[in-house]
Amino acid sequence: MPNMLYHALFAPLAGRETPFLYGPDGSVTTGVQFHDMILRFAATLAALGLKPGDRLAVQAAKSPDSLALYGAAVAAGVVFLPLNTAYTAAEVAYFVEDSGVRLLIGDPAREAQLKDVADKAGARFLTMDADGRGSFADEAANRTADFAVVDREPEDLAAFLYTSGTTGRSKGAMLSQRNLLSNAEVLVDQWRFTEKDVLLHALPIFHTHGLFVASNVILLARASMIFLPTFDPEVIVRLMPRATTMMGVPTFYTRLLDDSRFDRELTGHMRLFISGSAPLLAETHVAFGARTGHKILERYGMTETNMNTSNPYDGERRAGTVGFPLPGVELRITDPATGEAVPNGEPGMIEVRGPNVFQGYWQMPEKTKEELRDNGFFITGDIGQVDADGYVSIVGRQKDLIITGGYNVYPKEIETIFDEQPGVLESAVIGLPHPDFGEAVACVLVPEKGVALDTSLLVEAIRDRVARFKQPKALFVVDALPRNTMGKVQKNVLRDTYRTHFG
């Protein structure tokens, strides 16, 4: 069967002489140029021995070339695995080994470490820097764009994205061609994207938001992007007059509100601002509207499902809510203990079902069965409620997941490292409200009897073990952790105790 994802997203670029990507320096990549790059890269993957269904892992700086690797994987029928550029080599090693990656592409500055990771996993390692240069580019230099796109079925896998629970191993969420395309089709329609749109794209592309929401929507709508390597308020303010839309995490909007130049005049021509990946504070929503005259459109999604709900394009965008279930997505609120539906208005577990819901966790059938019901409903782990008007609100999380600046942090991973340190009896990692990041990682530590902990040494101990966004922004030392009668640590008490630490 024809490759539906390639033909919907990438094939239309073949005859497009107009710009697809604008760089911050004024550089332009036309649709034709980007499409040629995709097919040359796909031919390179095939020449390197990757076959349909094989896995390609990419930990490279955001660039037109690294985005083209995604398109190349789709064209070649290869499963694409983007990795956070902040991950340490030890973290990358797990993903590469667990997924059975055939090829790892990474930053040449980390070649020694990453090549060792690839070698131990029986994979090949090639490099790509922020300008697209490196050994992969050398391999692709003599390839032509006459690659024959591989046929794929709608349920064939297109990507892996790794997610985690608060305990246990990270899980590879398997996303099919249909999962990705169905969600993009709905979002283009719901958010009114057309070929006239220019998206300010400052999100990373190793995450659902930047890759499968922002990029897929623009590709499907045949629109264009101002493709920025990172979020820089100076650059955003300078380039906003050339854009019509923006997608961001709450941090983007709080930082823009700190800039006096960000006002009604600067944003007057903009059509839409979208926020996701972390909860948007109601006060940020209100302040943004007062400053710009625009109401941010907040939506709700996750790694396993892409987008589930959205505030309306036409109609009230209600602060503190994530809107309504998207067309084709069924959402229900259930009792976490019984799985039975709760009365309307009461909080419970959010479960969703639809063509956007993933295929399960890679090589984890038991975990898949725990979270994906036989009837197709996915148990999200988020606690929510639906009001009388049908608006969905996220009121808490069953798990202790922390979302900081749009990135997921799983406390058990950090606690394990601290618990290993000399003088530490035990630790508890929590998320605290933060005006910039939504939540900030904090750690509460209990010393062994008679030990005076040096927190500066503990900060050093974790610095090279995990990505920077996972590292605590505050450490607290206490005599004992609060526990319930069953001996379980009461993290809710800790969160209440330190809730105002960051203001």
Tens-place pLDDT, residues 334-356: 998 899 999 989 888 999 999 99
User: 230 phi and psi, to 5 degrees?
Assistant: -150, 175
Find, among 202, 208, 149, the residue nearest to 179 by Cα: 208
Find, among 233, 161, 168, 154, the residue nearest to 200 by Cα: 233
pLDDT at 402 (0 to 100): 86
**Checking DSSP bridges between strand 306-310 and strand 324-325, what pairing results, if any?**
antiparallel
Give me the sign of the Cα torsion angle 108, 114, 115, 121.
Answer: negative
pLDDT at 277 (0 to 100): 84
pLDDT at 166 (0 to 100): 40
Give me the sign of the Cα torsion angle 193, 198, 203, 208.
Answer: positive
pTM: 0.84
Residue 400 has pLDDT above 90, yes or no: no
Residue 297 has pLDDT above 50, yes or no: yes
How does residue 74 score in pLDDT terms, banded at 50, 70 and 90?
A: very high
Give the lowest-confidence range in 31-40, 123-132, 234-243, 451-460: 451-460
How does residue 419 score in pLDDT terms, banded at 50, 70 and 90?
A: confident
pLDDT at 120 (0 to 100): 97
Tens-place pLDDT, residues 366-390: 999 999 999 999 999 888 899 999 9
Bridge partners (DSSP) listed for residue 21? 29, 225
Residue 488 has pLDDT above 70, yes or no: no
Find, among 192, 207, 245, 178, the residue nearest to 8 by Cα: 178
Residues 103 and 80: beta-carbon distance below 8 Å = no
Cβ-Cβ contacts under 8 Å for 395 (sequence gap 6 or more):
347, 383, 384, 385
Rounded CA-CA distance 493/503 in Å is 18
What string of DSSP letters covers 59-85? Answer: E---SHHHHHHHHHHHHHTPEEEE--T
- Integer angstrom CA distances of residue 22 from 26, 188, 212, 500: 6, 21, 19, 41
Q: What value, to the nearest 5°, has the Cα angle with vertex 78 and ends 204 and 20? A: 45
Residue 92 has pLDDT above 60, yes or no: yes
Reduced to 3 states (helix: H, G, I; strand: E, B; else coil), residue 274 is: strand
